[in-house]
Amino acid sequence: MPDGKVPDTPVEILVDLLKKAKDVATTNGCVPKELTNLLQQALDLASGLDDYLEKMTTQESEPLAELYKKTISHDWDKVYEEGKTQFRLPKECITGHVEGQTLKMLVHMCQARRILEVGMFTGYGALAMAEALPENGCLFACELEAYLKEFAQPIFDKSPHGKKIMIKIGSALDTLKELADAGEQFDMVFIDADKSNYINYYKFILDNNLLRLRGVICVDNSLFKGKVYLKNTTDLNGLALRDFNDYVAQDPHVEQVILPLRDGITVIRRVGIEPRPSSYDEVFRGVMGRPILERMRLDGRVAYVTGAGQSIGRAFAHALGEAGANVAIVDMDATKADSVVKELNVKGINAMAITADISKCEDVQRMIDSVVSKWGALHIACNNAGINMNSASEDTTLEEWDRTFSVNLRGTFMCCQVCGRSGDAKQGYGKIINTASMASLIVPHPQKQLSYNTSKAGVVKLTQTLGTEWVDRGVRVNCISPGIVDTPLIHSESLEPLVQRWLSDIPAGRLAQVTDLQAAVVYLACDASDYMTGHNLVIEGGQSLW
């Protein structure tokens, strides 16, 4: 703690008391040396903590460092005396480096997208949290003092994350009412304003559903210099925090912990839902207690995707991996497969590369054996590999026809059959997702692609037949029919002129992006789609309807 700083947290006060005790012991000749030594050890232990935490915590960004420096060096007394603030604001209000990083971590951990801060001061905590929000995340910061908006905004503007922060000037309770009336909800709330109102903020936030179902409330200064547990406390803020902590501790709707960091941070999570309604069924609490987005998780599942080295297959592999599955990247091109594996590994997804040509029976068997021998199971088979060769029907060679069918239909059938014979499918669980095409429904034009269209129509019938035949053993077989997907191939010299023509046939007014297909593969791979089988899920921007 720098000289001259007022001790403000339990540890800082402890250090101050130990220093004084040690000074007394050193100047008083009657104190045994052993006691003085023990006091010194206690002092070393306590005084080293905050510095060590500072050093070992990830460095703050430049805008945060600037905000801190500007706040600490500002003359807050002068600002108050000039009538620019309603209250005298102590610079110690600022959350600072370690606490800011803690908040940032919490934002990451709860994957918050919308945050509410009650009490912004100069915006250190707000900017630290905003740094952890995704691009489209937002943080509403409530602050009483208009002067603080002027102070913080120029630094927010220097940060790429500043645009996520919306400052709301006025009494926080009024702002909370306004936000509740507008139907706003938050994943994380940070309460750090006037202590006497903490309990009102807390109650209002929970009673008015400002906190999302799985949201978290963080509360600053919950140890309030230790006054919350010291017996002789008369300090009104200390007593307010003590009452607040007691209230939260007895609230059956939440569970909480106080982290003894700086002046204490309470982390509160909503658990109970009261009153327990008579309709407390699976719709209300989720199937097996899992709400819908959790039911779309694929943790512990093993998947493969063929043709995963690029385009749709690559997007499918990322989507399945993001949802929690281990993913085998199957492609004829080993380099492409390896590169997608590397991408997935960077995201912390378990992945392996398999080089295979799915038109070859032995490759298909080896592919599935490799997956099962590495991960002990196979739950999700994503048969996506396919080829498309254009020719007018009168010119289509049997070679073209056979090659197209050999990959698109025969290859897909072999993949399905080997999966159907493998352990998990036989033991009652499996999801097979074939890539068909909108060409199974309509005849895309003006390009001519008879072999492709008929092979993909075959994929749909294969899917329908297997989907019904294998449903009694827990295997679901569905397919996805994408419309025209915007891939580099489309922008080739021969196809580019067709794009305008296609666009005029698509109600959505644009080609499909591979990312438009990702949710579908996760849905078909997860338990939530268990009642769906033999289905052709068409994703074509409405093209087949015109």
Residue 168 C-beta: closest distance to ligand SAM, Å = 9
Does 142 engage in binding with ligand SAM (CB under 6 A)?
A: yes
Q: How far is the CB of 145 from ligand SAM (least distance, A)?
A: 5
DSSP state of 287: B
Task: Verify binding: residue 264, ligand SAM, rule CB under 6 A.
Answer: no
Pick from 10, 125, 321, 467 the residue near ligand SAM by CB under 6 A. Answer: 125
* Choice from 11, 94, 216, 298 touching ligand SAM (CB under 6 A): 94
End-to-end Cα distance, the chain = 72
Binding region for ligand SAM (CB under 6 A) out of 136-144, 179-187, 223-231, 276-284 = 136-144
340 closest CA partner among 369, 318, 365, 312: 318
Name which of 93 and 425 has its Cβ closer to ligand SAM: 93
- Tell me which of 193, 303, 329, 506 binds ligand SAM, using CB under 6 A: 193
417: tokens are 């059959």
121 binds ligand SAM (CB under 6 A): yes
Q: Is residue 354 close enough to count as binding ligand SAM by CB under 6 A?
A: no
- Dihedral of the CA atoms 206, 178, 88, 71 (nearest 10)? 90
Residue 531 appears among annotated catalytic residues: no
Min separation Cβ 118 and ligand SAM, Å: 7
Helices then strands, counting H and E runs in the chain, come out as: 21, 14
Note whether 121 and 89 are within 8 A (CB): yes
Sole window of 39-47, 90-98, 276-284, 480-488 interacting with ligand SAM (rule: CB under 6 A)? 90-98
Q: Is 145 in the site for ligand SAM (CB under 6 A)?
A: yes
Rule CB under 6 A: say whether 187 interacts with ligand SAM: no
Among 143, 187, 363, 400, binds ligand SAM (CB under 6 A): 143
Strand 186-191 with 211-220, pairing: parallel
Cα separation, 324 vs 138, in Å, equals 26
Query: What is the 3 state secondary structure string of 212-238?
Result: EEEEEEEEECCCHHHCCCCCCCCCHHH
Q: Looking at 68, 304, 429, 452, which residue is catalytic? A: 452
Using CA atoms, how far residue 200 sits from 140, 177, 317, 462, in Å, is: 18, 12, 47, 61
Q: Is 486 in the site for ligand SAM (CB under 6 A)?
A: no
Q: Kindly report the number of other CB atoms within 10 A of residue 168's CB atom.
A: 19
**Residue 169: strand, helix, or coil:** strand
How far apart CA 278 and CA 294 sit, in angstroms, is 24
- Cα angle 506, 507, 513 (rounded to 5 degrees) comes to 60
E strands, 144-275, are 165-169, 186-191, 211-220, 254-259, 265-270
Q: Give the nearest residue (CB) to ligand SAM.
A: 125
- Indicate whether 144 belongs to the interface with ligand SAM (CB under 6 A): yes
Rounded CA gap, 414 and 431, in Å?
15
Task: Please report how close the Cβ of residue 156 comes to ligand SAM at its closest, in angstroms.
Answer: 13
Binding to ligand SAM (CB under 6 A) within 199-258 occurs at none
C-beta closer to ligand SAM: residue 85 or 544: 85
Q: Is 328 an interacting residue with respect to ligand SAM (CB under 6 A)?
A: no
With CB under 6 A as the rule, give the number of residues binding ligand SAM. 20
Instruction: State yes or no: residue 188 binds ligand SAM (CB under 6 A).
Output: no
Please list the active-site residues. Answer: 452
Binding site for ligand SAM (CB under 6 A): 89, 93-95, 119-121, 124-125, 142-145, 148, 171-172, 192-194, 197
